[in-house]
Chains A and B, each alone.
Chain A
Amino acid sequence: MGEITTWVFFFLIFPGMLFAVFVGLAMSWVDRKVTALVQWRKGPPVTQPLWDVLKLLGKEVIVPAQAWAGGFLAFPFVAFSAVAVAGTFVWMAATGFGPPPMGDLIVVLYLLTVPTLAVILGGAASGNPLGAVGASRDMKLLLAYELPFVIALLVAVFQERVVDGETIRAGTLSLSGLVEFQDLAGSILLRPSGFLAFLVALFCAHAKLGFVPFDLAEAECEIGEGALLEYSGAALALFKLTQAVLLATMPVLLVTVFWGGMDPGVGGVLAFVGKIVLILVLFVLIKNTNPRVRIDQAMRFFWGPVTIVALLALLLAQLGL
């Protein structure tokens, strides 16, 4: 019984749903504020994302006449719960909070694919032609970035170091195992193979978050937010929260796998926050300085140069670099 309550606490309060939602909303404020500063504007106040979500929660939910109502309303919940669980695993591994989490890289990877799938299915269930266009683009984009992303994460698994004359291998799929390995052997990011893999993972995470230049599935100005087009009120709010939690998860996943997670103590926490904000600002700057690509360009980019670099990083990792 006691164990169950602690896990409920982990999943629902810290570092799960509630915490991740607030961190995600704060991070989406950073995103909007930095965007505004880049465009020489003042930008929204810090509470803005919270007000947005509160407002959406209070609005009417319309189910379009041509939609499959059950699926249309269920998929936002699927997306949100999956990403909240993934966020819990990643945050627990990164901060070392609670017992070593059960989830490893494979679980997290699968859970992080679920929101995209839910958006695809939700868009298809809405019965809107533009929603279907958005869904099909989302699907192609998922196929494009998932392969290099998996390879890049494997580079971390195959790391090998010589510490005090002894060879130690990462050799684990567990996130906390990777953090322990980096405690002994230094950040994976600092090695040639790790650095290349980090860059690849950064691009893939960027596409997963649906940021420009890979926002072609949402493309507000041509297909009006794509799969989310028909969503209104609380259902839309759940998708917005999903995006926020995803935004709170991806940079932390990158920090955990490639940059050594969080060290204990105040300094460790500050460094951890700094790393996350650094990655976030990097995302925002990439987002603001690049125009949107077409779907064929995106696929060529991910299956071409990005996958090649990822394979190269894998080779270097095998050579022990």
Chain B
Amino acid sequence: MANATPRVPSLFLKALKKSPWVFHVGTSGCNNCDIEIADCLTPRYDIERFGMKLAGSPRHADVMLITGPVSRACREPLQQAWLEMPRPRAAVMVGACACSMGAYKDAYSVTGPPDKVLLEVDPDARFVYVPGCPPKPETIIMGIVKLLGAL
């Protein structure tokens, strides 16, 4: 994992930790995780305190939040969106579905959990797993914070 990541100067690394912009991809879960992600923006949780911001385009993002198992239709768009993110980049798997397929395991319509799908196109991809069905907003925020600590 560590060998392929380009060495980044520490000031930039600090800046990255202070302002992780997230891009949200729903790969056909039940949509409840997506709602919990939207909750993080509300006054109660206010992730802007940590400099996190929802980016409108993967080009602007540093962290990708992925919810749900990857359906056949979502496979290529997900891979493409991942490759569009400028390096360094990382992903957070939000919810049981994204971590391990959850209730969709062995379903005919899905092609695998997002981490496997992303590893196919980018072997250096880094992930953090946030289990729960759906995870609480606190848990999601904690997941992102852990990810930043691991960078």
Interface residue ranges, A against B (CB under 8 Å): 32, 36, 39-45, 47-48, 51-52, 54-55, 57-62, 220-221, 224-225, 228-233, 236
Contacts and interface: CB of A to CB of B under 8 A. Distances in A.
B49 A62 contact: no
Contacts of A220: 56
A54 B15 contact: yes
B46 A51 contact: no
Interface residues of B, number: 23
Nearest to A223: B56
B57 A42 contact: no
Interface stretch (B4-12, B99-107, B135-143): B4-12
Contact of B9 (A36, A47, A58): A58
A221 B56 CA distance: 7
B11 A36 contact: no
A55 B46 contact: no
Contact of B51 (A41, A52, A58, A230): A52
B75 interface: no
Contact of B16 (A41, A55, A61, A231): A55
Contact of B49 (A44, A224, A228): A44
Contacts of A225: 56-57, 60
A274 B57 CA distance: 36
B56 A224 contact: yes
A230 B43 contact: no
A131 to B, nearest CB: 10
A151 to B, nearest CB: 34
B86 A233 contact: yes
Contacts of B109: none
A30 to B, nearest CB: 14
A43 B41 CA distance: 11
Given A59-B86, A59-B88, A60-B86, A229 B18 contact: no
B48 A43 contact: yes
Given A41-B48, A51-B51, 12 more contacts: A42-B46, A43-B48, A48-B19, A52-B15, A57-B12, A60-B88, A62-B59, A62-B84, A225-B60, A228-B57, A230-B57, A233-B86
Interface of B: 8-9, 11-12, 14-16, 18-19, 43, 46, 48-49, 51, 56-57, 59-60, 62, 84, 86-88
Contacts of A61: 86
26 contacts: A36-B48, A41-B43, A41-B46, A41-B48, A42-B48, A42-B49, A43-B48, A44-B49, A45-B49, A48-B18, A48-B51, A51-B18, A52-B51, A55-B18, A55-B19, A55-B62, A58-B12, A58-B16, A59-B88, A61-B86, A221-B56, A224-B57, A225-B60, A230-B59, A232-B86, A236-B60
A224 B11 CA distance: 29
B125 to A, nearest CB: 15
Nearest to A32: B48
Contact of A231 (B49, B59, B62): B59
A76 to B, nearest CB: 14
Contact of A39 (B16, B19, B43, B62): B43
A154 B36 CA distance: 52
Q: Which among A44, A220, A233 has the highest number of chain B CB atoms within 10 Å?
A: A44
A59 to B, nearest CB: 5
B15 A51 contact: yes
B12 A54 contact: yes
Contacts of B51: 44-45, 48, 51-52
A210 to B, nearest CB: 14
A229 B48 contact: no
A59 B62 CA distance: 9
A54 B60 contact: no
Contacts of B59: 62, 229-232, 236
A31 to B, nearest CB: 12
A6 B9 CA distance: 34
